[in-house]
Amino acid sequence: MDRLEATLFEKSSPGRRGCHPPSGGVALVDPVAVLGAELVRETPPALPELGELQVLRHFMRLSQLNFSIDTNFYPLGSCTMKYNPRVNEVTARMPGFARLHPMQPMEAAQGALELMHNLQNDLQEITGMDGFTLQPAAGAHGELTALFMAAAYFRDRGEKRTRVVVPDSSHGTNPASAALAGFEVITIPTNAAGDVDLEQLKQHLNNEVACLMLTNPSTLGLFEQHIVEVARLVHEAGGLLYYDGANMNALLGVARPGDMGFDLVHLNLHKTMSTPHGGGGPGAGPVGARGALVDYLPGPRSARQGEGFTFETPSKSIGRVRMFWGNFLVLVRAYTYIRHHGPEGLREVAEGAVMAANYLRARVKDAFDMPYDRLCMHEFVLSARTMKEKKGVRAMDVAKRLLDYGFHAPTVYFPLCVEEALMIEPTETETLETLDSFAEALLKIAQEDVALVTTAPHTTPVGRADEARAARKPILRWEGEAP
């Protein structure tokens, strides 16, 4: 395949310069005296030589090959791809936050500690937990942290609990985190209504189960109807209830995991509290705990000390789960998001997300299979099963064809318990016009010529990539010659 944009090395031409420092304006130092002879290059580094405008246009063109939330609708279920308010960027760029040094003394970082302290409190209030740690760097990291806490808790109580139960609709990170934390994973099926199968749950609960990991609303976009009963059963068996908070966007200001009986939670600040998702990070996966579990939270946590703030580690803490706060600016964005919405605004976020999802679901349900046909929360799952059987058009084909209409594809083939799944999360931030045009595109694709759909996309910079080859033999390096 021809590359769409040559590298800066290929565009380089000797002697071209992007900027011209004033001659004599830079103090001349002897590099050998400063660095030592062994560290000084004998030949200058082979950097590309280009004019400023060339570089600017290169990166601008690359940026336009990307699909982004700032250019188009991005209904990727489970990921909560919503608009990231620009005020977040203003606060995250404040020099007092952006230029903090990791080794800065506590007295000189009081503002940052105060922000962390307030954020811990806000997350506590939002989720109904008794304490929070901001240490974990992502949702999966939060899961692992909470499972380590559960293990330490049971170890202290002298209980040997080696199993973690997950529903078959759960995100892949749930069983992966449980296995990484040393637990045996037990998967239980979802019932016909899309809830946890209570009979199956009862059969698997015993004094070896440490924890049930639940996403609520589930990854099917459904609120667990028997959550109170589920919590009672797990607690009666002496286990803990873990809340995967990736779907908290649906519940903000409306319902709290703590009130439903959850003991441990993680939130994905980069989903629910808005942070640009790009290139896999950075994110933040704070963990909250209730009751006796608070003592096991990783430290350090920001705590009040007299008029100011300090770092403190809980008494039975499992220790650190990372070193420095490299994702601190994600915390600044989340705090900004929470404060500029306020309690009323956060509730509107959840209500808007749920309304948008139900609107879309109702508009497209006749063209696809709807495996769980009931009111949804902030997302819903369609299936292209009948379409595949009748015409050979698969969920992946529909997803690719949507790109031609200018929409990002929804999540496909997840959750695993739904065949040919298309998982759609519109979020609260889109207009009715956008939702309507997306629904119309889906309805149209359902009627389109099979060959047109199965060879899509036709209008994107790159057509249908060979995904298996891309995964097995990725080409991650430019192999050309530097000038």
Ligand X SMILES: *Cc1c(COP(=O)(O)O)cnc(C)c1O
Instruction: Name which of 153, 144, 152 is nearest 179 in CA terms.
Output: 144
Question: 306: left (phi > 0), else alpha (psi -120 to 50), else beta?
Answer: left
* CB closer to ligand X, 91 vs 145: 145
* CB closer to ligand X, 138 vs 146: 138
The span from the CA of 376 to the CA of 216, in Å, is: 12
Rg (CA), the chain: 26
* CB closer to ligand X, 237 vs 353: 353
* CB closer to ligand X, 124 vs 177: 177
Least gap, CB of 174 to ligand X (angstroms): 6
Instruction: Name which of 336, 333, 323 is nearest 137 in CA terms.
Output: 323
The span from the CA of 298 to the CA of 368, in Å, is: 46
Which two three-digit tokens encode residue 230? 């589920």
Least gap, CB of 481 to ligand X (angstroms): 38
Least gap, CB of 78 to ligand X (angstroms): 4
| Exposed / middle / buried, residue 423 (Cβ in 10 Å: 0-12, 13-18, 19+) | buried
* CB closer to ligand X, 145 vs 454: 145
* CB closer to ligand X, 242 vs 368: 242
Least gap, CB of 213 to ligand X (angstroms): 9
Check residue 315 and report its DSSP letter.
Answer: T
* CB closer to ligand X, 246 vs 338: 246
Looking only at the bridges linking them, the beta strands covering 131-133 and 287-289 are antiparallel
Looking only at the bridges linking them, the beta strands covering 240-245 and 264-267 are parallel
The span from the CA of 44 to the CA of 482, in Å, is: 13
3-state secondary structure 70-139: CCCCCCECCCCCCCCCHHHHHHHCCHHHHCCCCCCCHHHHHHHHHHHHHHHHHHHHHHCCCEEECCCCCH
Least gap, CB of 325 to ligand X (angstroms): 17
- At residue 45, what is the residue type? P
- At residue 299, what is the residue type? G
Least gap, CB of 203 to ligand X (angstroms): 24
Instruction: Name which of 53, 43, 65 is nearest 11 in CA terms.
Output: 53
Answer yes or no: are the C-beta atoms of 229 and 251 closer than 8 Å.
Answer: no
Least gap, CB of 141 to ligand X (angstroms): 6
Residue 427 belongs to what H/E stretch? none
Least gap, CB of 170 to ligand X (angstroms): 7
* CB closer to ligand X, 272 vs 454: 272
Least gap, CB of 80 to ligand X (angstroms): 8
Instruction: Name which of 422, 418, 439 is nearest 371 in CA terms.
Output: 418
* CB closer to ligand X, 244 vs 369: 244
* CB closer to ligand X, 260 vs 445: 260
Q: Which residue is nearest to ligand X (CB)?
A: 139
Least gap, CB of 249 to ligand X (angstroms): 10
Residues of this chain that interact with ligand X (CB under 6 A) are 78, 138-140, 171, 173, 215, 219, 244, 246, 268, 283, 285
